[in-house]
Structure 1
Amino acid sequence: MDLQPERLEYEGEEGITLVADAWGDPANPPVILAHGGGQTRHSWGGTAQALAERGWYAVAYDHRGHGESEWSEQGLYEMGHFALDMACLARTFATPPAVVGASLGGMSAMWGAGELDVGMFSAIVLVDVTPRLNHLGVQKIFDFMHEHIESGFGSLEEAADAVARYTGRPRRDDLSGLRKNLREREGRYYWHWDPNFFAPREGGPSAPEPLLAAASNITVPVMLIRGRASDVVTEHEVREFLELIPHAEYVDVDKARHMVAGDRNDIFSAAVIEFLERLPVVGVVSG
């Protein structure tokens, strides 16, 4: 089944416009898909379609300052702002949605459910993210994303080569997916996010302690999906997380790094669906 998404717009905090793609029947139980920093909603295409086919209403959105969503003129990119945007989206549904959050999306979900409203979500799936992250792995991501902020790329092939060097995976022949993560300007390609997203700033839970405190308040079902080869969430961070949230489930995906959904999408999507279908309110498989 080849489902086509519906493009939607939502109003986030401070009136910022958030652009989303929605798969499935809006009458079905909702699932929010929140990408990582520097990515876009297009990271979730395969998982969103798989969820819709199993009877869920899957909504993947671009964070503020990312993809087609509006950039903050004031540079408001602290954790609380992303969590408030997610809360605005969650409250548009008739019932609390489940949320699948990768990296920044997962941190926003933890902050929202633990600090803003414990009843905001029906369940949380965290994708290679915990309140405390391995510093060296995070620094590699920041270094990669900073490297081409000003210069951009001369072609899609050049950008694909840079991604391949970073991920350690062979360069893909089909560059259409990568094209969705880039903006073309004066013959060069730039990442599809506001450079101010990485500007130094004060405020918000930049240290792990506030996020650890928020996560300890989470009572809804939680699953952590880690890439076994990830250097962002190591076994040390996993152990701390499972002690912090004892009711959380844990899945370790072989041959996957930080971008678990991109590395092993079939295995990842199956784990998410199996977890969500055990919730008290489950999707109804469409005919």
Structure 2
Amino acid sequence: MSAGTRLAGTTDPMHIWEGAGGVKIAGDSWGDPGGHLVILQHGGGQTRHAWKHTGRLLGAAGYHAVAFDARGHGDSDWAPDGLYGQDIMVEDLKCVIATFGNRRPVLVGASMGGGTSLVAIGEEHVNATALVLVDIAPRIEIQGIDKIQAFMSLKPDGFDSLQEVADAIASYQPHREAPKNLDGLAKNVRLGRDGKYRWHWDPRFRPQRHDFTARAIRLTECARRLRLPALLVRGGLSDVLTEEGAQDFLRLCPHSEYINVTTAGHMVAGDRNDIFGTEVIAFLARQVPAAGTPTFPSQVLNPQTTRATGHMFDVP
């Protein structure tokens, strides 16, 4: 089942893998298959395309980067039972890792994908080498989640044009410059038989806010158990992960590194791909070098980024 027909110009997935219960998982990859495996998991309402720039940078640096559409998103199958909880997402992740011989990966996860990654490692479902969390931590703000839900609930009967889609995105991300060419929106929607454009995700999927207490307890315990190299990247404009939420995570996982991309919102990689990709590769080069000598881009000292290890801040 899907939201409709894929629009012309939408890139076909490079791979189709089998997830939990036989659900088909669509993915892309970059770099040398013999390089260190880096799994990129997007946030709710996003697709693998959110990682295209980062995946290419990782591939050029000698890593084997893999991004996939979560079930119910993009080109992956919708869940037959309409269930999209964290546990089934972890099972899909394990299935993808198994296709690569159960090699120990680096897990990079934004928002929903970060929660999946944290649970996978903290509850010992996945034996990873490093973790990168993107604008997600055990403590998040309900108001920010409410805004995401409101955005995802816009126009349940469909949009009349791509311009309406662009206007909806702009209402949620006013800090971003509006696109001059709407063709890039094709990957975000599907065209129904009724001529309406609908989001690429299963409408049964929604960020779940009904039990934040249980979620926070679970992710807090997972964060306390982290012993591998970890990096938290926050968007300085985010209303989902605040500075207080980031500092809480640093107290739970004091050996982790922290970067605040001050000009980015919740969608950090999409807002500032240039800074995000460079910083993640610099972290991995220190902690989990790719096979051989990585040729990663030189680190750019940018006044829009602040970095910390534990609680000691430096401003580049």
TM over 0.5: yes
Aligned residue among 217, 223, 228 for 2:225:
217
Contact 1:90–1:120 at 8 Å: present in 2 too? no
RMSD (Å) for aligned C-alpha atoms: 2.3
C-alpha change, 1:269 and 1:120, in structure 2 (3 Å) is same
Shift of residue 237, structure 1, vs aligned partner: 0.5
* Equivalent position to 1:24, from 31, 36, 43: 31
Cα 1:6–1:147 change in 2 (3 A) is closer
Bigger drift between 177-186 and 101-110 goes to 177-186
1:282 is displaced (CA, Å) by 2.3
User: Counterpart in 2 of 1:180?
Assistant: 187
The 2-side partners of 1:102 and 1:255 are apart by 17
1:129 aligns to 2:136 (yes or no): yes
Determine the C-alpha separation between the residues in 2 that align with 1:176 and 1:120.
Answer: 40
Secondary structure (helix, strand or coil) at the match of 1:197 reads: coil
Distance 1:50 1:162, change over 3 A: same
Cα offsets for 1:152-196 (capped at 9, x unmatched): 211111101110121002310132332101111021111111111
Matched, 1:163 2:169: yes
Counterpart position of 2:145: 138
Query: TM-score, normalised on structure 1?
Result: 0.92
Structure 2 residue 104 is matched with structure 1 residue 96: yes
User: In structure 1, what is the equivalent of residue 284 of structure 2?
Assistant: 276
Aligned residue identity for 2:159: F
Question: What secondary structure does 2:205 align onto?
Answer: helix
**Runs of 5+ unmatched residues, structure 2:** 1-10, 297-316
Contact 1:6–1:23 (Cα < 8 Å) also in 2: no
Determine if contact 2:41/2:70 at 8 Å carries over to the other structure.
yes
1:233 equivalent in alignment to 2:241: yes
Contact 1:90/1:121, CA 8 A, preserved across alignment:
no
Per the TM alignment, residue 76 of structure 1 is displaced from its structure 2 partner at its CA by 2.0
**AA in 1 matched with 2:30:** W
213 and 134 in structure 1: CA distance in 2 versus 1, 3 angstrom threshold: same
Unaligned runs of 5+ in 1: none
Query: Structure 1: how far apart are the matches of 2:270 and 2:90?
Result: 24
Q: In 1, are the aligned partners of 2:72 and 2:201 still within 8 Å (CA)?
A: yes
Tell me how far apart the structure 1 counterparts of residues 97 and 280 of structure 2 sit (CA, whole Å).
19
* Map of 2:6 onto structure 1: none
1:189 aligned to 190, 194, 197, which one? 197
1:257–1:201 distance in 2 versus 1, CA, 3 Å: closer
The alpha carbon displacement at 1:283 in A equals 4.3
Counterpart Cα distance in 2 of 1:241 and 1:42 = 28
Whether the 8 Å contact between 2:44 and 2:207 is mirrored in structure 1 is no
Aligned residue pairs total 282
Out of 154, 178, 183, the position equivalent to 2:160 is: 154
- The amino acid that maps onto 2:276 is F
Q: Which amino acid aligns with 1:131?
A: P
Quote the Cα distance in structure 2 between the aligned partners of 1:250 and 1:216. Answer: 16
